[in-house]
Amino acid sequence: MPVRNKLAVIGILVGNRGESACQVNNVLSRCGDIIVGRLGVPYKEKNIWVISIIVDASGDAITTLAETLSGIAGVSAKVAVVA
C-alpha cells in the first residue's frame, strides 16, 4: 500500500540570521521537491525572521525536515498538519 502524503505548514523562527540563515536556506534547498510554497518575513522589532513553508510529503519526511531545522543554532521549527 503506497504511503499517503500529508499537507503541512512548518513555521520557522530564525533568531540569529547572520549565523544560521545560510544553513536554513541550504536545508530548504535540499528539500525543495516537497516544498509547495514559502514566505519569509523579517520581524525587526524582535530581531527574528519568520519563515512559513507549505510542504506536501510523508509524515516522516515532514518530521525529519522540522527536526533538522530545529537542530540549527538559533532556529525553532514547528509543524501543523492541515490535511
Tens digits of per-residue pLDDT, 8-53? 999 999 998 788 999 999 999 999 999 999 999 999 999 999 999 9
SS3 content of the chain, % helix, strand, coil (to 5): 35, 40, 25
- Whole-model pTM? 0.92
**pLDDT tens string 60-70:** 999 999 999 99
The order of strands in the sheet holding 6-14 is 35-43, 48-57, 6-14, 75-81
Task: For residue 15, report the phi and psi dihedrals to the nearest 5 degrees.
Answer: -85, -25
Q: For residue 62, what is the domain's CATH number?
A: 3.30.70.1150
34 neighbors 2 (Cβ within 8 angstroms):
no
Does any domain span residue 69? yes
pLDDT score for 3: 75
Q: Which helix (H) or strand (E) holds 12?
A: strand 6-14
Does any domain span residue 1? no
